[in-house]
Amino acid sequence: MFLPQQDVNAVIPHDPPHIGIWLLEGMSPTSVVYDGKLYVFYNGSDNNGIWFTQFNGHSWSLIDNVKRHRP
């Protein structure tokens, strides 16, 4: 579940469903539309990089780390 910016401090269940994005304080999400897809980027916890997922209009992709896509 993607939490809008104003809900970043919302209480998160202990066993969230494995769908969407759970954001914690300090993850600083941002989004962009590219090639007809919505991409959401955010800081990982414990300084483990920048992560992203994409929405193609029907479903979200698996979450991936930006470092895996460097040339």
At 13 the pLDDT is 45
At 39 the pLDDT is 93
At 62 the pLDDT is 87
At 47 the pLDDT is 73
- State how far the Cα of 41 lies from the Cα of 32, in Å rounded to an integer: 8
3-state secondary structure of 12: coil
Q: What is the pLDDT along the chain (71 residues), one digit of tens a residue?
A: 444 444 444 444 444 444 566 777 777 889 999 999 999 998 877 777 888 889 999 888 888 888 888 77
